[in-house]
Structure 1
Amino acid sequence: LALFGKQSMWWKPWSGITTAYLQTVMSFEDMAQRIRSYEPQFLNGLLQTPEYARALIDRGPDPAHHAALAELRQRRQAQFAAAQGKELICVIDEASILRPVGNAQIMRRQVQHLIKLNEDPRYQLRLAELKRTNLPVEIGSTAIFDFAEALLPTIAYSESIDGGLVIQDEAAVDRRAKMFDKLRHQSLTPSKTTGKLRDVLRTNYYR
């Protein structure tokens, strides 16, 4: 970690407009071999189309920085896509694709993008259906970073409107990881997720 911290980070040009906890997340994304993620309200930043990302960013403060932040999000995706041996496992809450961000056209392209990503073996998308009962969604916004180096333990991260929390306590990380894996296994498989996404396209975003 110390050696990694001394390197010049690719996101340094954006350091003046990003929060410390976002910079931490980007560092973890670079180092992790596997990322497990659940977002109850919006899609993970690594899954967002440029239009979806910009519509979401435009809802935030500091309009002068919105274009740069949208550019940064695209760069994050490019960094992940270019890396070798990485895996992203995302549980997508059904509410996040039924509640429009921007407009129907943006959502249509976003859902189409999710379907395409689910064909890539580096991405595993699972849908947590609203009709399913007893899903452990109380885990909230969570990212779990698994690293290739045996000496670097798994780290969890949770985010709210007030900021981000890095979780390193072994018992707390293990508890959150088990909750995530339970949620993942109770959600739709990747192939059934693709089918559900196509259904959402037909019923919600092709009117």
Structure 2
Amino acid sequence: MQYGPAVRRRKLGSELRALRDRAGLTSGEAAQLVGWHQSKVSRIETGRSGVKPADVGLLLDAYEVRDRQLRALLEALAGADGDRTQRHQWWHAYKGLLPPAYRDFISLESQACRLHTLETSVVPGLLQTPDYARAVTRASLDGLPQEQVDSFVEVRLARQDVLHGDPPLELSAVLDEAVLRRPVGGYRVMARQLRHLVDLGGGLPQVRLQVLPYAAGAHIGLSGPFVIFSFPNIADLDVVVLDHLTSSLYLERKEDLKAYTEAFNSLREHALSPEDTLEFIAGIGDGT
């Protein structure tokens, strides 16, 4: 049985191998310490086989890894749906509602320390008001029963707790001007959403908003929105996520991460400053 997407299996396996090497152990010696066959350790390290959080814990004990934050991150990356560790994660209660790709996105989001995102159509989920989130859900999942719409909105709002954690997720978002001009849910809903963006951008130091105005013309972000997740302690776990209508694409190669990071930095240079952005958003809000 596979646990988590391939990108996470490979990244987790690579980190476990590095920790084993640091401990001065061969894969055979590691297997002996935890009572496994050597081939199981090899499959885990190459990402060919999934691993339960409890088994990750056994390996970390064998490698004498004591860093609690590192252990929690690696065990969370294993994240088997049926495992007892996963049951303590709030989104498990919505297992029957949320597609696996969405659950995995939430899992990554909950463990990340930084998130960089370009949005060209809608306000990022972590910054949405309840009414705006409801309107987006209805539009993207047309025909969904009201009860399920409400559940999706609950999930969207619960995700926002990462902005108030200890430490909070650092969110840097570049928003195309179209995001602010499109009256999602109607003008009243949009006016409240714009005020909410101003409140968050001005009130939470961990939230950095920048608008890419129409006047910027053509830019590298025209190819579509993306999210870059960064994780504490392990830079090699960083990943780019591209969302499509029916699936998500995870990019893990260093070349991809470098390209998207450079693209995001370029977008920030062409965008309004955070201070000017808040004034810009407030001005649009006054006109709605």
1:85, distance to aligned residue in structure 2 (A): 4.0
Match of residue 21 from structure 1: 101
**Bigger fraction of residues in strand:** 1
Is the Cα contact below 8 Å between 2:162 and 2:168 reproduced in 1? no
Q: Contact 1:30–1:80 at 8 Å: present in 2 too? A: no
User: Residues of 2 paired with 1:91 and 1:190: CA distance?
Assistant: 10
| TM-score scaled by length of structure 1 | 0.93
Whether the 8 Å CA contact 1:139–1:176 is kept in 2: the answer is: no
Mapping 1:97-176, distance limit 5 Å: 97-119=180-202, 120-150=204-234, 152-176=236-260
Q: More relative contact order in 1 or in 2 (CA 8 Å, sep 6+)?
A: 1
Match of 2:59 in 1: none
**In structure 2, what residue type is equivalent to 1:51?**
D
Task: Give the aligned partner of residue 273 of structure 2.
Answer: 189
- State the 1:153 CA deviation: 2.6
Of all paired residues, the percent bearing the same amino acid is 26
Tell me, yes or no, if the aligned pair for 1:40 and 1:95 is still in contact at 8 Å.
Answer: yes
One-letter amino acid of the counterpart of residue 105, structure 1:
R
Amino acid paired to 1:172: D
Q: Once the two structures are superposed, what CA deviation does each residue of 1:70-107 show, in whole Å capped at 9, x if it has no partner?
A: 01111001243234142000011110110110111100
Change (3 A) 1:30 1:152: farther
Amino acid at match of 1:198: A
Tell me which residue corresponds to 1:77.
160
Give ranges in structure 1 of 5+ residues lacking alignment.
Answer: none
Q: CA RMSD in A?
A: 1.5
In 2 relative to 1, CA 191–151 (structure 1 residues): closer, same or farther, beyond 3 Å?
closer
2:116 pairs with one of 30, 36, 57: 36
Separation in 1, partners of 2:217, 2:224? 16
Report the counterpart of residue 47 of structure 1 in structure 2. Answer: 127
Higher helix proportion (structure 1 or 2) = 2
Q: TM-score, normalised by structure 2?
A: 0.67
Distance (whole Å) between structure 1 residues aligned to residue 187 and residue 126 of structure 2: 21
Instruction: Give the partner amino acid of 2:234.
Output: A
Distance in 2 (CA, whole Å) between partners of 1:105 and 1:93 is 21
**What is residue 70 of structure 2 aligned with on the other side?**
none
Q: After the TM superposition, which parts of structure 1 deviate over 6 Å for at least 4 consecutive aligned residues?
A: none
> Hey, what's the Cα distance between the residues in 2 that align with 1:101 and 1:139?
22
Q: Which segment is superposed worse, 55-64 or 178-187?
A: 55-64
Write the deviation string for residues 24-81 of structure 1: whole angstroms up to 9, x where unpaired: 2111111111000111111110010001001111221422411100011110012432
Between 39-48 and 80-89, the greater mean CA deviation after superposition: 80-89
